[in-house]
Amino acid sequence: MPVPLESKSLKKIYRNKGRSTTAINDFTFSVKEKGVFSLLGRNGSGKTTFVKVSTTQLTPDDGYVRVFGKDVVEDEKELRHMISLVPQESRPFPHMTPYEHVYYFQKMNGKAREESKERAESVIGLLGMHDFARTECVNLSGGQKQLTMVAMALSLDTQIYFLDEPTIGLDIITRKGVWNAINKYRDAGKTILLTTHYLDEAAFLSDEIGIVSHGNFIKQGTLDELRSGLEYDTRVAMRGRVDHRAFEPYGKVHSDERGTVLFTSQEYVEKILSDSSVRKERIEIGPIGLDDVFISLVGEDIEVDEN
């Protein structure tokens, strides 16, 4: 049985007016089992480009992507019936309602009238959209418009779903509603490729995580595997101005305008607390989290915008 998603030595270059920009330099990884695979990276790291190549919107310059054994170039037409997509830059039609978007999306994909109605009602209920399902999108909030696009993608019964920043602009309650829907699809044996910069989202949903940076695929694994691969097990966050050089003997130091984070081992915590330069009311100590894994592997905070 072919794996749900496989990328080998993938390279994509954007060319414009004689200038070339490498968006993806070398993506080699595979999603071996059905479930949620999250791609994490800062803006401009190559996540959306990978989604576009994988969904046949862009042609790779080198390497390949295969979805359930089908090549995104050679088997383009067949693949388009096997995938569903929430693109990052998508917007609904202003004078159609969310219900109409989902209903007509089903019709366009060959579904009969009654089945289209049933699927529209089902996904609108799943995502908690009944209160605004029949309101024209021109009168909806940005989050409600985004949810409309998510509903369209999830309304299709496909083998794999590509969700590119599906919860961007949503409030936390609506985000968790989308999380519950994604979990139901995973439990039903579907494969979901999720891109996100919300680390809590990735930690909650992911069966496996891939980390990308500046067009390069850095590492993949479960959250526990990524954590265990680090040299350190403890995070020490110090707010305010701190002479970070004093803490370099204890581990890896990351500093920005908000303060200093030291990745260290539990055995050094007592020594760090005894340092006279540390103001105890400005220090937080805890286990390594996904945000710490990202910083340790990439050297940058995921929330910083590169553009």
CA angle 16, 91, 31 (to 5 degrees): 75
C-beta of residue 226 within 8 angstroms of C-beta of residue 293: yes
Nearest alpha carbon to residue 150 among 160, 137, 139, 163: 163
Distance of CA 258 to the CA centre of its chain: 25
Residue 251 in this model has a pLDDT that exceeds 80: yes
Residue 100 in this model has a pLDDT that exceeds 80: yes
Residue 209 in this model has a pLDDT that exceeds 90: yes
Least confident of 93-107, 191-205, 271-285: 271-285
Q: Please report, in angstroms and rounded to a whole number, the separation of the first and last CA atoms in the chain.
A: 40
Encoding tokens for residue 306?
């590169």
The SS3 assignment for 300 reads coil
CB under 8 A, 24+ apart: contacts of 228-231: 230/263, 230/288, 230/292, 230/293, 230/296, 231/263
Residue 202 in this model has a pLDDT that exceeds 80: yes
DSSP class per residue in 13-29: EEEETTEEEEEEEEEEE
pLDDT band at 292 (very low <50, low <70, confident <90, very high): confident
Average pLDDT over residues 286-301: 87
Encoding tokens for residue 15?
């060319």
The SS3 assignment for 237 reads strand
pLDDT band at 1 (very low <50, low <70, confident <90, very high): confident
Could you give the C-alpha distances from 143 to 97, 98, 100, 270, in angstroms and in order?
14, 12, 17, 46
Average pLDDT over residues 2-20: 94
Q: Give the mean pLDDT of the chain.
A: 91
pLDDT (tens digit per residue) in 105-124: 999 999 999 999 999 999 99
* pTM listed for this prediction: 0.88
Radius of gyration of the chain, Cα coordinates, nearest whole angstrom:
22
Average pLDDT over residues 8-23: 94
Strand partners, 276: none
Q: Which run of H or of E encompasses 125?
A: helix 113-126
Burial 151-187 (b: 16+ CB within 10 A, else e): bbbbbbebbbbbbbbbbeebeeebbebbbebbeebbe
Average pLDDT over residues 16-23: 91
Residue 281 in this model has a pLDDT that exceeds 70: no
The SS3 assignment for 60 reads coil
pLDDT band at 279 (very low <50, low <70, confident <90, very high): low
pLDDT band at 277 (very low <50, low <70, confident <90, very high): low
C-beta of residue 23 within 8 angstroms of C-beta of residue 49: yes
Q: In what order do the strands lie in the sheet with 5-16?
A: 70-71, 62-67, 5-16, 19-31, 216-221, 208-213, 36-40, 191-196, 160-164, 83-86
Residue 288 in this model has a pLDDT that exceeds 70: yes
Nearest alpha carbon to residue 304 among 235, 257, 242: 257
Average pLDDT over residues 49-63: 97
Residue 128 in this model has a pLDDT that exceeds 60: yes
CB under 8 A, 24+ apart: contacts of 300-305: 300/42, 300/213, 301/256, 302/40, 302/41, 302/42, 302/197, 302/199, 303/197, 304/42, 305/42, 305/43
Q: Is 278 exposed, middle or buried (0-12, 13-18, 19+ CB in 10 A)?
A: middle
What amino acid is encoded at 198 in this protein?
Answer: Y
Least confident of 131-135, 160-164, 250-254: 250-254
pLDDT (tens digit per residue) in 64-88: 999 999 999 999 999 998 999 998 7
